[in-house]
Amino acid sequence: MKLQIPRGTQDILPEQTAVWQYIENVAKDLCRRYQYNELRTPIFEHTEVFSRGVGETTDIVQKEMYTFTDRGDRSITLRPEGTAAAVRSFVENKMFGWANQPVKLFYYGPMFRYERPQAGRFRQFVQFGVEALGSADPAIDAEVISLAMNMYKTLGLKELKLVINSLGDQESRTKHREALISHFQPHIGEFCSDCQSRLEKNPLRILDCKKDRNHELMNSAPSILDYLNEESKSYFNKVLQHLDAMGIPYTVDATLVRGLDYYNHTAFEIMSDAKGFGAITTLCGGGRYNGLVEEFGGPETPGIGFALSVERLIAALAAEGITLPIEQSTDIYVVALGEAAKDYSVKLVNELRLNGFSADKDYNDRKVKAQFKAADRIKAKYVAVLGDDELAKNIITLKNMATGEQQELQLQTFIEEFKKQQA
């Protein structure tokens, strides 16, 4: 039987991992500059973490989670997103008591959702996200958005569009909720079963429905922006003011909801405007989630964050024809001729590695010409040639592959001499 990879997953081969590593390094460097520190949570959590944290009415909880019962008869779920686990950790480890507030965290790792696989969307995917917990200042909303935008810009993306909305505070959302129920209720039978169940639980989620998005009532639905109280309006205007000051262009879209139940006040998405990217243009989404920490038994703690899919980021880079400046090379390749020289080369290559150099040698008993070709394939900057005769004379020939220049060096002092040349 031929074994194949499960649907919705992918092998990332060695020639591709360099791209992934480059992106991860960019993300980590940005977080260093913005003072966000890495949090690593388990791949799986108790199912309640996500049903409570993500929201019972979401597609993620209702349709997409990988949930199983373990041997202790506990319901366990592979993490579908990063925020709920981060907040669980924040509460469990009493980060709200740390001296440095707000607590600024980032995560980078695999997530799992049972979705229909399509271009740039997988059932196992890698997510990079940040969370800022402990500040209700609109300035940190702008900071989080700035970090997300800078991630894409640093990697060279230009065809970007930031879409932003306010979902308001609890008072504003309650008034808007009542208006939505009144709007949809007379014709709710015309909507899908999901929307019908959402009418009472969370009518805002109807606006995010993919099946009924072309229904005429969608376009005429009450806008949240018309129901914002003065405090919510002031908060939203302050966020926009900070974005203006940072020179970050945006579009206000009153229909932007976001797919998770925990959002309030600021909600945003970053989209790709690149031609040929596909129908689903969202690259990144995030927003404010005041109240989520309390859901997990913690004290009142405001929070904001975002998450992005690395797979969709890579697809966006391809759509814009961007090649990342990845330099893959080897410091030195040792070509050995003769049995004694081959034996000595094992020790020599190991010493080169211990001294901080990337080094390799032939392990397939190839001829000299084939060994030089191998050195070219791995982009070796130098080749050291050692034969039995040279070994007897305690010398080794070093060739600069860029210039073709060759020199003989004493074998005993070879590594020290090589170090000096690289300094």
* Mean pLDDT value of segment 81-109: 96
Report the relative pairing of strands 330-337 and 380-387 from DSSP bridges.
parallel
Letter for the amino acid at 134? G
332: burial class by Cβ within 10 Å (0-12, 13-18, 19+)? buried
**Minimum mean pLDDT range among 76-90, 219-233, 301-315:** 219-233
The Cβ of residue 398 has, within 10 Å, a number of other Cβ atoms equal to: 18
- Has residue 419 got a pLDDT over 70? yes
> What does pTM read for this prediction?
0.88
Q: What is the pLDDT of residues 283-336, one digit of tens each?
A: 999 999 888 999 999 999 999 999 999 999 999 999 999 999 998 899 999 999
- Has residue 75 got a pLDDT over 90? yes
| CA 333 from centre of chain | 35
CA distances from 220 to 95, 213, 412 (A): 44, 12, 82
The Cβ of residue 233 has, within 10 Å, a number of other Cβ atoms equal to: 14
Nearest to 20 by CA among 313, 274, 307, 277: 313
- Tell me the domain boundaries of the chain: 14-169+229-319, 330-418
Top pLDDT among 193 and 414 is at 414
Two tokens, residue 162: 């930031």
Q: What is the pLDDT of residues 134-146, one digit of tens each?
A: 999 999 999 999 9
Superfamily of domain 330-418: Anticodon-binding domain (3.40.50.800)
Q: How confident is the prediction for the chain on average, in pLDDT? A: 91
The continuous run of DSSP H or E covering 270 comes out as: strand 264-272
- Has residue 195 got a pLDDT over 70? yes
**Among the CATH numbers 3.40.50.720, 3.40.640.10, 3.30.930.10, 3.30.1370.60, which is that of 14-169+229-319?**
3.30.930.10
- Has residue 261 got a pLDDT over 70? no
Beta-bridged to residue 398, according to DSSP, are 384, 407
- Has residue 235 got a pLDDT over 90? yes
pLDDT value at residue 57: 59
Q: Which of 161-165, 196-200, 260-264 has the highest mean pLDDT?
A: 161-165
CA distances from 145 to 126, 209, 235, 261, 384 (A): 20, 25, 15, 20, 50
Q: Omega before 102 cis (within 30°)?
A: yes
Q: Rounded CA gap, 335 and 402, in Å?
A: 17
**C-beta separation of 362 from 335 below 8 A:** yes
pLDDT value at residue 56: 67
What confidence category does residue 240 fall into, taking pLDDT thresholds of 50, 70 and 90? Answer: very high
Q: Rounded CA gap, 81 and 65, in Å?
A: 10
pLDDT value at residue 259: 54
The DSSP symbol for 279 reads S
The DSSP symbol for 64 reads I
